[in-house]
Amino acid sequence: MAPFAPNSILSCLIALGFVIVAASCADNANKGASFHSRSALVSEDDGDQGNDCKVVDVERSDYLIDFTSNLPSESNGKPASLDIHHVKPVFAGETGNQQGHSDCTKAVAVMVHGRTVDIVTVTDLRFEDYSLAEALAKRGIESFGVNLLGWGLSSRFSMNDPCNTTRTDQDKFLKPNPLGLGNCPPSDPYVFSNIRT
C-alpha cells in the first residue's frame, strides 16, 4: 500500500478541522448561540425562543450561483456557475415556503468539501444519522454547502478534457478508454490537481 501524499494528508486534516468546527458551532448554538425536499423530524423545544422557534422539519434545496471566472487560465473572464446545496431548519412559526432565513435561525454555516468528495456526500449523506447538515438544521443552524469548480454541477471548463490530467494518470486510468493507446498533451497550461487550486 502506498503512503499518503502530503496533499491527501492536508485534505484529511482540513476535513477533520471542518467537522470539529461544525460540531463546536452546533454545540454552542444549542447552548443559546431548483429542488426542494423535506425530512420530517421533531426537535427539542428551545425554551428561550418559544414554540414558534421549535424546529419541526428540515428543508433542502440545490441551486447554481452564476459568476465570471477569474481562474488564471483560458477560462478567465468566462461565465461560470457554483453548485450550492442549502439545508435549513423549518420552524413551527413559519408559514409556507419562506424566502431567506428565519429570525429563529441561530447561526449560518458555509461548508466546502475536500479534495476527493463532493459537498452533498461529505455533509448531507441521507443515510441513518450520517448527515452533518441535517444535525445542524435540527439545532437551528442553516447551512450552505459549496461544490467548487469541477465538482457536482459547478462549471468544469477544461477539467472535463482527459488530456488535462498528468501523464501518469493518463497511463494508469485513461487507457485504453477514452484515450486509446497514446498520451495527449494538455489543452490547458494549468494543472488542476491539488488542493491549492
Number of domains in the chain: 2
Asked whether 59 and 142 are in contact (CB, 8 A), the reply is no
- Is the full-model pTM beyond 0.75? no
In whole angstroms, give the CA distance from residue 149 to residue 180.
Answer: 27
- The candidate with the shortest Cα–Cα distance to 33, out of 143, 133, 145, 139, is 139
pLDDT of residue 31: 39
In a domain, 133, yes or no: yes
pLDDT of residue 124: 95
pLDDT of residue 50: 59
In a domain, 19, yes or no: yes
What's the average pLDDT block by block, 10 residues per block, for the chain (197 residues)?
A: 41 44 42 42 47 90 93 84 95 66 85 90 92 95 93 84 83 84 79 51
User: Which range marks the domain in which residue 13 is found?
Assistant: 6-155
pLDDT of residue 22: 46
Same domain membership, residue 90 and residue 66: yes
pLDDT of residue 13: 40
DSSP at 123: H
Cell 448527515 locates to 131
At residue 9's C-alpha, the angle toward residues 4 and 14, to 5°, is: 160
Same domain membership, residue 131 and residue 184: no
